[in-house]
Chain A
């Protein structure tokens, strides 16, 4: 097990380097001088500009810049943004925001999807099933933007039960709307996969065996069908996390939450290569770790893989 984990982490290192280098190259290749643009129309003295360029390594060749950023990052020296904010401080403020959003959204989507998908598949073509298929079709079809705006307008502007945007109201009020907006999309995907998987498991021979043992329907469902049907769903959990991160960029912008997604978006707009690389690295590492956890979990849930 430990060897498996170590091997996976070692295999991820080169991909991580290529990914961050690629992102950095893209930012580097963006036209325009970020510092001049930051200053706007005001002329900046050449000496100040030169000092700034040296501070952010902008006067060095591309690969050296990348190496210096990586070195600083490894040493825990995150430096500051072009307009002088301490990046370490920013992370300390912003990581909890995105973490809360992601955890809440995950909690929503998994709980609802597991219950809904399970019962829909178990009683196929029943009321729950029809409701699920119709509602997930709707959710998958309607763009996140529209769902989010509608929720903001109805719950925030009209009914005033939840804040429209911003993190001012704290946890959980400020996070409920964005988390729900983020969760519905994931919910639809997970619930549909689970439903199909349950339908397939229901027709398995071992379910006949379980019934022939005189087990009650609930026991057949939760002890025999679900543990088998959950396996394909576990494999998509890793990809789903990636979706949450992409969603966070958009959701945090719509709901004006000061999280990592918003930070990343601003950094791209301001061509802050260092910040973009840092956040991409963070996202990549989380992605690798979550997929690793998913694989380990899969081994626990499926003995055929464990002994294979």
Chain B
């Protein structure tokens, strides 16, 4: 069935045209999707919350009145009060910062680390590849989370940077493998061989020819993984190996809420915020992938 009907050919025509979308066309296409616009606005909101929490609340999240402990919402305190009697709305707003930092810094770092190591491993077979790949094998065989928990547990003062660092240290192999395999498929393509044949230095080939053509799968995986990172930070903090008490975060609010099941608002508000944020990330990731992958458009 060489030409399984013109039906397929007709579709192939559309696909071929889509494949050559420029960045501007891609952005334009994304902006016409309402869910993409809504989620982008939501994320901008969360970023603003993390950068300048005072835009959203003038209440100090650490000024508390124990008499108000676990109180329901009242005028001026829409989310009620937490266990210490602090304003919960202010606490939830201030809790955005760790999650936003983890998501932005964590995923950008994960992308960079996986991309660089994957490029090196895929483009320089031999010692470089063996070194990177064997290290990845070992990290991959570690019971997941165990290494993260052990490492975090050995640090006394855990800032958000320590958490991001540990997650990056343990988490790079999956992305590296993806990048490595797409580098494999690109490295012997004609344009790379052409560049090599005219004596372009390897690092420049990697940067200008290999990377732009091999990054799409990793980018898609990274955008889809952002939500997971936010959840992971919250889970670690909940387990008690993440951020420590004086810092305010959604994860630590979950930890407190777990002990006060009869006060659902302690749990509902951070849940709502964290879920909105992760869903926004996922939908944006999904939209980008759909726009890049013409097969799914039919």
Contacts and interface: CB of A to CB of B under 8 A. Distances in A.
A and B touch in the complex (CB under 8 A): yes
B144 A243 contact: yes
Contacts of A19: 138, 141-142
B4 A205 contact: yes
Contact of B238 (A22, A26, A137, A145): A145
Main secondary structure of the interface of A (DSSP, over half): helix
A275 to B, nearest CB: 12
A164 B141 CA distance: 33
Contact of B150 (A15, A30, A287): A30
Given A146-B271, A265-B239, A26 B150 contact: yes
Contacts of B144: 242-243, 245-246
Main secondary structure of the interface of B (DSSP, over half): helix
Contact of A283 (B143, B151, B271): B143
A23 B137 contact: no
Given A153-B261, A246-B145, A268-B153, A253 B239 contact: yes
A26 B271 CA distance: 33
Give the interface residue-count category, chain B. Answer: 35 or more
B138 A145 contact: no
Interface string B209-238: 000000000000000100110110011001
Contacts of B258: 149, 254
Given A144-B231, A145-B234, A246 B224 contact: no
Interface stretch (B90-98, B193-201, B274-282): B274-282
Given A31-B156, A249-B149, A253-B239, A141 B141 contact: no
B261 A152 contact: yes
Contacts of A137: 279, 282-283, 286
Interface string A243-262: 10110011001100000000
Contact of B282 (A141, A164, A246): A141
A143 to B, nearest CB: 3
Nearest to B225: A140
B234 to A, nearest CB: 6
A143 B234 CA distance: 8
A144 B138 CA distance: 26
Contacts of B279: 137-138, 141-142
B141 A143 contact: no
B15 interface: no
A30 B142 CA distance: 18
Which of B143, B149, B230, B281 has the largest count of A CB atoms less than 10 A from its CB?
B143
A161 to B, nearest CB: 15
A283 B146 CA distance: 10
A148 B146 CA distance: 21
A157 interface: yes
Given A143-B231, A253-B239, A23 B282 contact: no
A269 interface: yes
Nearest to B1: A205
B146 A264 contact: yes
B274 A276 contact: no
A225 B283 CA distance: 30
Nearest to A25: B150
Contacts of B227: 140-141, 143
B78 interface: no
B262 A249 contact: no
Contact of B275 (A23, A143, A280): A143
B47 interface: no
B150 A250 contact: no
A157 B239 CA distance: 22
Interface string A203-242: 0010010000000000000000000000000000000001
Nearest to A248: B145
Contact of B271 (A141, A150, A157, A271): A150
Interface in A5-26: 15-16, 18-19, 22-23, 26
Contacts of A15: 137-138, 141
Interface of B: 1, 4, 137-138, 141-147, 149-151, 153-154, 156, 224, 227-228, 230-231, 234-235, 238-240, 251, 254, 257-258, 261-262, 264, 267, 271, 274-275, 278-279, 281-283, 286
Interface of A: 15-16, 18-19, 22-23, 26-27, 29-31, 137-138, 140-146, 149-150, 152-153, 157, 164, 205, 208, 242-243, 245-246, 249-250, 253-254, 264-265, 268-269, 271, 276, 279-280, 283-284, 287
